[in-house]
Amino acid sequence: MDDTTARDILGIGPHATREEARTAYKRRAKILHPDRHAHGSQADLRAAERAMAELTDALHALRFDAAKRTSDAQQATHRVWTGDRYVDVPRDRPRRPRHRGCEVCGHTPAMWIDIRALNGLIILHRTDRYAATLCRNCGTAIWRDVQAQTLTLGWWGIPALFANLAVLVNNRGYGAALRELDPPHARAAGSPAPRSEPMPLTKPVTARVLPWLATATVVIIIVLLVAAAMQARG
């Protein structure tokens, strides 16, 4: 795999750094990982496995040698004499068109979402970010899983309790925006997305048992603690 193809798969530009490439890999891996597509058919699962393998190959294929970075920087600018000194001026170079559409299925319309999954760890908590351009179907399927995970695992700890409220509000805003998006109707020409069709919708959050059970348990614990504190004062 050549360097240009690898960067296109990762969705990074020609001057991206190694750290930016790793960040792009982690972001896309959370969306394309086969576990995220376990609700679909075997064909969907195989497509996700191929996409994940291709994404990993792309990261390993990148080259970040100093000579290439210097060459790229020189090609990006040219020196112009201003009358008393030379200055570097950006060179106008045509850019390759970036494919628009859902990063999972390539369909349009699609929108950018940036949601979180929070996992409370008593004293600490861990937050996973899911950010991508997605159509209504793919975005809703991923949003439901992430929101259900947050409602189930995000309450456990005093810091996590307050952080989880902020996460849920943030996620809810993107969920509402996804519901207002038109249904996916056309695949963008030349899209590199691994799936040919949008993801099947997963079970709604309100129809899942664990989020309700976890949330209700936390509410009951808080009520009992408040009642005990009031009784101790009285």
Asked if residue 100 is part of any domain, the answer here is: no
Determine the pLDDT at residue 70.
43
Asked if residue 213 is part of any domain, the answer here is: yes
Asked if residue 39 is part of any domain, the answer here is: yes
Instruction: Report the distance separating Cα 166 and Cα 183, nearest Å.
Output: 28
For residue 225, what are the contacts with CB-CB under 8 A and spacing of at least 6? none
Asked if residue 208 is part of any domain, the answer here is: yes
Cβ-contact 10, 25 below 8 angstroms: yes
Determine the pLDDT at residue 224.
92
Q: Does 226 share its domain with 137?
A: yes
> Domain total for the chain?
2
The C-alpha R_g of the chain, in whole angstroms, comes to 23
Determine the pLDDT at residue 33.
86
Q: Along the 234 residues of the chain, how does pLDDT read in single tens digits?
A: 788 888 888 888 888 888 888 998 998 898 888 888 777 778 878 888 888 898 899 888 887 654 444 445 445 555 555 555 555 655 444 344 445 689 998 999 999 999 999 998 888 888 899 999 999 999 999 999 999 999 999 998 888 888 999 999 999 999 999 999 999 998 988 777 888 889 888 899 999 999 999 999 999 998 998 999 888 886
Enter the tokens of residue 147: 């929101």
pTM of model > 0.85: no
CA distances from 141 to 37, 44, 102, 201 (A): 9, 14, 13, 5
Asked if residue 102 is part of any domain, the answer here is: no
Asked if residue 17 is part of any domain, the answer here is: yes
Select from 44, 65, 86 the last residue of a domain.
65
Determine the pLDDT at residue 85.
56
Instruction: Report the distance separating Cα 20 and Cα 92, nearest Å.
Output: 24
Q: Does 215 share its domain with 124?
A: yes
Asked if residue 71 is part of any domain, the answer here is: no
Q: Does 124 share its domain with 15?
A: no
Q: CB count, 10 Å around CB of 133? A: 19
CATH code at 38? 1.10.287
Instruction: Report the distance separating Cα 51 and Cα 167, nearest Å.
Output: 29
Q: Does 119 share its domain with 177?
A: yes
Q: Does 61 share its domain with 118?
A: no
Helices and strands (H, E) in the chain, number of each type: 7, 6
- Give the residue numbers spanning the domain of 117: 107-233
Determine the pLDDT at residue 80.
54
Q: Does 116 share its domain with 229?
A: yes
- Angle (CA) 214-119-167 rounded to 5° is 85
For residue 109, what are the contacts with CB-CB under 8 A and spacing of at least 6? 135, 136, 181, 182, 184
**Burial letters 44-57, b for 16+ CB under 10 A, else e:** beebbeebbebbee
Q: Does 111 share its domain with 192?
A: yes
DSSP labels for 199-215?
Answer: PPP---GGG-HHHHHHH
Asked if residue 166 is part of any domain, the answer here is: yes
Q: Does 225 share its domain with 112?
A: yes
